[in-house]
Every structure is written in structure tokens, then in C-alpha cells.
Amino acid sequence: MIRFLILAAAVLTPAIVTAQITRVSYGNDFLSTGGGARALGMGGAFTGIADDATGAFWNPAGLTQLTGTQGGFMHSQRFGGTVNYDFASVAHRLTDSDAVVGFSVFRQGVDGIKNTLNAWDRERDRPVADPNDQITEFSASDVALMLSVAAPLNESLSWGTNVKLVYGRLGPFAQAWGYSLDAGVLYTRGRLRAGVTAVDLTTLLKFWSVNEARLEPLREYFSDAELNDAFPQGRTELSLPYLRSGVAWMQPFGDLDVTASADLDILPEGREAFVLNVGTFSVHPRAGLELRYMDILSFRAGVADVATTFEGDLTLSPTLGTGFVIGRLGFDYGFGNFAGNASILGNTHRISLTFKP
């Protein structure tokens, strides 16, 4: 495991590149949805819990809590169904070992975008003959592959790491490759759990390339010199690391288990409006509650997207969720963004299926 970490850190440490490097605040934003309807129902306050296969996203050290093999699939829709988000994960405890390995894949995309560049006659300023035959469709999507390794250090402390590969595609016009490394720890003492994850610890680098031939009709149609000067070009984007931390308390009451959790993300976004902030660092708190009856039926609630307006008013987005288990299969549903500032972007529905072979 130590050799694996050293090798991953050496490979993923940002190198000096000759391409233009641009710092961005949201290069990894497509992963902000997270993984698992259970976590969404709890407002995303899952860093201190992370006790299922989705824990690889929230805190890879949490995978050490798995006793065997576990996997799952999640589908989510955002912005009124415009954006589709899919997540699948599997984790397996190695035979005769305390170590756990996992693999996860994410995809977020907007599909069926119309490309009308070839359907307009630029010289005559009107549609070409049979314009529908010249209209094609493309997708704007981001995909991430994540390999996870976790192991206990002692009875109370565990560590875990994620190696992430990111691929972005804007139809036939542009594409990007990227990579980064996450590292997390989880501390357990009685009913208390606390975790910290350094997300994109090595920074996230994304290398964009542009297919200028595909965009040439755009240049030809707009003769404005400013547009031509701003014609898209390839570049390297850099997203800085940020911290995700969380605590959880688990309390049994007979057949009822109650879990309360709170998370705090600290991001170097450089924005100071509409969010809680300390200087140029924005602070994103979340909180969640789960009631589980006999490990069969669950009800969840939480708060997320806590922010302040220009007027200084506090806003937040509540979340709700439920789940049930039948044999080795678990079904979870999470519902969010139905109030607060985030509600103007439409409700978020997340459905998950988990299994334990």
C-alpha cells in the first residue's frame, strides 16, 4: 500500500507544462453532486460516515468499514431533468487482508444538443435546402474514473486514497483529460466518527484540446475581429485542493438507530458573495439525520447549500430521503433543492440501488 501511494503521488504531482495554465474554481464541479441517494437525503453530510461503497467519494478511508463486497448504482437528474448524472461503484475487501479496494465511475452530461452550424447558408443568410438533414446532435459530458485503496492503521484510525482520471468532451469540438489524487482519514471512537478528506490533493489538472476544423463554420459566419481573436484554443486548467471534513454520532434506541452528522467543506474559490467565507476561502456547511429501523427501513433529512445573500440573509436548501432493504438489495431515494436559492434551478432527484453479494 505504501508503494502504491508513493507511486501515485509521484505520477500525479503536477509537472511543468508548456501549455497555457489557467486557474479555475469549478474544474471538478461536476463531481459536486456526490455519490449515493442516502448521502443526498442527509444533505451530503457523509464524510464522517462513509460506511458503504459510495464512501469512496466522500471519504475513501470509510471503505475499511465494509466486511465483504458491496456495489451500487445511482441515477440523478438536475436542473429540471436537463443534466443527467450517473454513478456506479464497487468495493471489495481483499482475502486474508484488512485492505479494501474500490472502483467508481461518474458521468454527468447534457445530451441531445442540436448542432445547426451546417444548416444555415451564410452567404444567402437563410437555411440551406433540407436543413433538418444537416442538423446533428452531440453531448457535453464529463466522466471520472476513480480507483480507491483503504486500510486501517489501528483499531481507531483508517486511511484511504483515490486516484482519479477525468475526461471531458464537448461533442466533436473539444475534449480534455485530467487527473488528481484524494486522501482521507477516518477516526472511530465508540459511537463517534470523524473524517477528513483532502480532495484533489495534488491539484486537478485538465488538458483541453480543440478541434478547430469543426469550429471553422463558426469563425466564417462571425466576421467580427473580436470573435476571431477569442476563437477557442486548447489550454491547461488547474483546480486547487480543498478540504472536506465531517463528524457523525450514532445512537441506538432499541430497534431504532439514529445517526446525526455534520460536514464542513473549505474551498479556495476566491468568491466572497452569496456564500459563507473567510477571506477568499468559501465555507460550505451541511448537516444530516438518519433514522434506521431494524436495518430495513430508513428516513433521512438534511440541509445543504447554506449561503448568505447580498442583503446578509441566510438561506439553505433542505433535503429528504428514504430507503429500504430487501434481502441483499437496498433501495434509496433522495430529494433536494426544493427550497432556498438552489430551488430556482429545479428539484434534484437521486435514486440508488445497492447490493451485497
Query: Higher confidence at residue 232 or residue 223?
Result: 232
> Structurally, how many domains does the chain consist of?
1
Per-residue pLDDT at 71: 94
Per-residue pLDDT at 4: 45
Query: Higher confidence at residue 287 or residue 213?
Result: 287
Q: Please, are residues 301 and 41 in contact by the beta-carbon 8 Å criterion? A: yes
Q: Which three cell numbers stand for residue 194?
A: 470523524
Q: Is residue 321 part of a domain?
A: no
Instruction: Assign 231 a pLDDT band (cuts: 50, 70, 90).
Output: low
217: left (phi over 0), alpha (psi -120 to 50) or beta: alpha
Q: Please, are residues 79 and 115 in contact by the beta-carbon 8 Å criterion? A: no
Q: Is residue 277 part of a domain?
A: no
Exposed, middle or buried by CB within 10 Å (0-12, 13-18, 19+), for 318? middle
3-state secondary structure of 341: helix
Phi, psi of 14 (to 5 degrees): -55, 135
Distance CA 246, CA 12 (A): 26
Q: Please, are residues 68 and 90 in contact by the beta-carbon 8 Å criterion? A: no
Using the predicted structure, report yes or no on whether residue 113 has a pLDDT greater than 50. yes
Distance CA 202, CA 15 (A): 10
Per-residue pLDDT at 273: 55
What is the pLDDT of the chain when averaged over all its residues? 83
pLDDT tens digits for range 147-179: 999 999 999 999 999 999 999 998 888 899 999
Q: CA nearest 248: which of 339, 186, 182, 174?
A: 186
Q: Is residue 120 part of a domain?
A: yes
Contacts 24+ apart (CB under 8 A), 154-157: 156/187, 156/188, 156/189, 157/185, 157/186, 157/187, 157/188
Q: CA nearest 160: which of 174, 149, 147?
A: 149
pLDDT tens digits for range 28-39: 777 877 889 999
Q: Is residue 48 part of a domain?
A: yes
Q: Is residue 295 part of a domain?
A: no
Q: Is residue 81 part of a domain?
A: yes
Distance CA 42, CA 334 (A): 8
Q: Is residue 322 part of a domain?
A: no
Residue 32: give the domain boundaries.
2-241+339-355
Helices (H), 104-224: 212-221
229-258: average pLDDT = 88
DSSP 268: -
Instruction: Assign 5 a pLDDT band (cuts: 50, 70, 90).
Output: very low
DSSP 59: -
Phi, psi of 320 (to 5 degrees): -135, 160
First and final C-alpha spacing in the chain: 26
Q: Please, are residues 121 and 217 in contact by the beta-carbon 8 Å criterion? A: no
Q: Please, are residues 346 and 80 in contact by the beta-carbon 8 Å criterion? A: yes
Q: Is residue 300 part of a domain?
A: no
Buried b (16+ CB within 10 A) or exposed e, 323-333: bebeeeebebb
Query: Higher confidence at residue 12 or residue 91?
Result: 91
Q: Which amino acid is at 226?
A: E
Q: Are strands 126-127 and 136-152 parallel, antiparallel or unpaired?
A: unpaired
Q: How many CB atoms lie within 10 A of CB 123?
A: 6
pLDDT tens digits for range 53-95: 988 999 999 999 998 899 999 998 776 667 889 999 999 999 8
Q: CA nearest 28: which of 205, 163, 172, 149?
A: 205
